């Protein structure tokens, strides 16, 4: 098992800048509105903490049999999978297994190999997915 196999990923909820908190809260909040088929007017300054919305959306996904439909784009599926699992950190192998099980009988074949997921997960900044618990190297700091 390589060190790459041990890396777990999750949606970044801690140490977010204020604008990132608002962006993630809005992303989660709009998903809740879509599921509930609501069009609520709200003020961007009144958004709650992203964790609150993640918990609400997780509960809605758990009640839905169609939270991960076969037509779901892979990037969106990654995000939904983390939300569904309550943002439990997952390895690429676990992500691959979950998606494979959910899309086993799909009419829409797609590449969800570990290599493809690895490449994709590095480029999903708009979903705030990152390595879990990764600490920065102090020697790389400019001061």
CA–CA dist 131, 128 (Å, integer): 10
Domain count, the chain: 1
Supply the range of the domain harboring residue 115. Answer: 6-133
Q: What is the pLDDT of residues 29-38, one digit of tens each?
A: 999 988 888 7
Share of the chain above pLDDT 70, in %: 85
In a domain, 80, yes or no: yes
CA–CA dist 4, 85 (Å, integer): 22
Q: What is the pLDDT of residues 49-106, one digit of tens each?
A: 999 999 999 999 999 888 888 889 999 999 999 999 999 999 999 999 999 998 887 7
Of the candidates 110, 111, 113, the residue with the CA atom closest to the CA atom of residue 97: 113
Half-sphere exposure of 140 (CA within 13 A, CB side): 3
In a domain, 142, yes or no: no
In a domain, 122, yes or no: yes
Structure tokens at 62: 């758990």
């Amino acid at each position: 098992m390589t060190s790459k196999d041990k890396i777990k990923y999750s949606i970044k909820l801690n140490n977010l800048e204020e604008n990132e908190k608002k962006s993630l809260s809005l992303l989660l909040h709009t998903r809740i509105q879509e599921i509930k088929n609501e069009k609520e007017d709200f003020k961007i300054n009144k958004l709650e903490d992203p964790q609150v919305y993640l918990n609400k959306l997780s509960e809605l996904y758990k009640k839905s049999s169609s939270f991960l439909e076969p037509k779901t784009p892979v990037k969106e599926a990654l995000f939904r999978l983390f939300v569904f699992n309550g943002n439990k950190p997952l390895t690429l192998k676990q992500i691959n297994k979950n998606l494979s099980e959910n899309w086993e009988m799909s009419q829409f074949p797609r590449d969800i190999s570990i290599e493809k997921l690895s490449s994709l997960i590095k480029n999903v900044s708009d979903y705030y997915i990152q390595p879990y618990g990764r600490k920065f190297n102090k020697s790389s700091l400019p001061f």
